[in-house]
Amino acid sequence: MKHKKIFILLPDGVGLRNFAYTNFYNEAKHHGLDIVFWNNSAFDLKGLGFNEIKIENAKAHYLTDVYKKARVQIELNLNIERFHDTVYDSYRFKMATDSIVNRMKTLCIRGLTLLYSTPIGIEKIRKAIVKLERKTAFYNDCLNVLKTEKPDFVFCTNQRTTVALAPILATQELNIPTGTFIFSWDNLPKATLVLEPDYYFVWSDFMKSELTNYYPFIKENQIKVTGTPQFEMHNGAEYIDSKEAFFKENNLDASKKYICYSGDDITTSPNDPIYLEDTAKAVRDLNTKGYQLGIIFRRCPVDFSDRFDAVLEKYADIIVAVNPKWKKTGSVWNTILPTKEDMHLQINTIAHTEMVINLGSTMVFDYVTHQKPCAFINYDVLNAVPSNWSVEKIYNYVHFRSMPSKDAVLWINNPEMIASIIVAGLEHPNDVVRHAQEWFEKINQNPAKEASLRIINAIKNIVD
């Protein structure tokens, strides 16, 4: 029996963690699928033993980005109107005005937003984007590849990038079924959906409900609830090194227990170095009382700045930086790509630390897969930069409303609490872990370790 050929479209490096560095590829082969990565990332996947077809000269229509950004603004306007909630204003980013071209684009975006902020208007914008992309040379290139390769299904790993439009539209033109993966738990409230394939793969029933609420034109039978592969490798003992090996490799003190401080990007947490220093002060104080603790600092993988250097130097006796092993191929966030080595490093960092402290990141879920607690920073600093920044904005984001219990994390409401919160996480983790597990099972299909298998089975049902 001929194996079904499945194209995994990588419009950028975002999908590598879920579909190239997990068990997905081998699991799919085991279940009779012929997986080919249709690869627009900077990584050479052949070197990792994968079948790939490199995408050359991927280029969206020059107006598509304008229409896409207008679509985002319009959808946020409609969400405010539909849900009577101004939180959606917080998802807007300042538009570029640093050149004549960018100023013209911004004027066009604002004009389209003003003219088309209605349900009928957004439909016209969606149709205009499709029309533009079908005029591109890239669209015709995609048609030629598809006619030659004849895949049975094209699955895009990222729903938000315009460069994926032409491949998906070309696939639909040839009546080949298409799907996309909603790759992050916070994506849907942000109006990030660009693609409109035949099927949508989501983390959970909760995300399925979000998808139909924000996009009423999507039917329930188009949605596949699968979970996300990014957490499944935490369950594999074969990926975890011995504590001795991990400590030796990263110059850690074998006499200490370590907590992890997980950094955020500069937009989410511009004052993160202050929070790291407050945590270091608390650990130093605890050590004077007989604790033997250290901090592993894992910076945000897309943050290559020097903003933490002074704190790392000042508290070198407390903090050890264990930097993510990501590869920088460009200047914007989606050109800084994960590596398979970093998956291994992240898993071992979690396995060999006692708990994590951060400002509202998904590391809460990574840690709960190891039955370890998370503490969320929840206070503003004096002389914050920028002056109007506040943690209140972060925790008001829609995705935090999925938390079934505020007890799913330990809340650090001021710097003076950090020491006691660390002690609570070390000595009484069970209750917070139990509530975090409830949250995790709400936003990600359980059991987490079967996500790849569920995606594969959904694809098989579609192509069969």
| Lowest-confidence pick of 22-36, 208-222, 348-362, 378-392 | 378-392
**Domain ranges in the chain?**
4-60+136-228+448-463, 64-132, 238-443
pLDDT tens, residue by residue, 221-273 = 999 999 999 999 887 778 899 999 999 999 999 999 999 999 999 999 999 99
Class at the top of the CATH hierarchy for domain 4-60+136-228+448-463:
alpha beta
Q: Decide whether 4-60+136-228+448-463 matches 238-443 in CATH topology.
A: yes
User: What's the rounded Cα separation, in Å, for the pair 231 and 236?
Assistant: 10
pLDDT tens, residue by residue, 453-464 = 999 999 999 999
Is the CATH number of domain 238-443 3.40.50.1100? no
pLDDT tens, residue by residue, 272-313 = 999 999 999 999 999 999 999 999 999 999 898 999 999 999
Residue 332 has pLDDT above 90, yes or no: no
Residue 47 has pLDDT above 90, yes or no: no
CA distances from 321 to 261, 269, 357 (A): 10, 18, 14
Mean pLDDT of the chain: 95
What's the one-letter identity of residue 456?
I
pLDDT tens, residue by residue, 358-394 = 999 999 999 999 999 999 999 999 888 888 899 999 9
Q: What is the value of pTM for the model shown? A: 0.95
E-assigned strand segments in 256-405: 257-262, 293-298, 319-321, 327-328, 336-337, 356-358, 374-377
Angle (CA) 422-425-431 rounded to 5° is 150
Give 46's Cβ-side CA count (13 Å radius).
Answer: 3
- Split at pLDDT 50, 70, 90, the class of 335 is low
User: What's the rounded Cα separation, in Å, for the pair 295 and 283?
Assistant: 8
Instruction: Provide the token pair at 445.
Output: 């299909």
Give 254's Cβ-side CA count (13 Å radius).
Answer: 7
Q: What is the pLDDT of residue 63?
A: 97
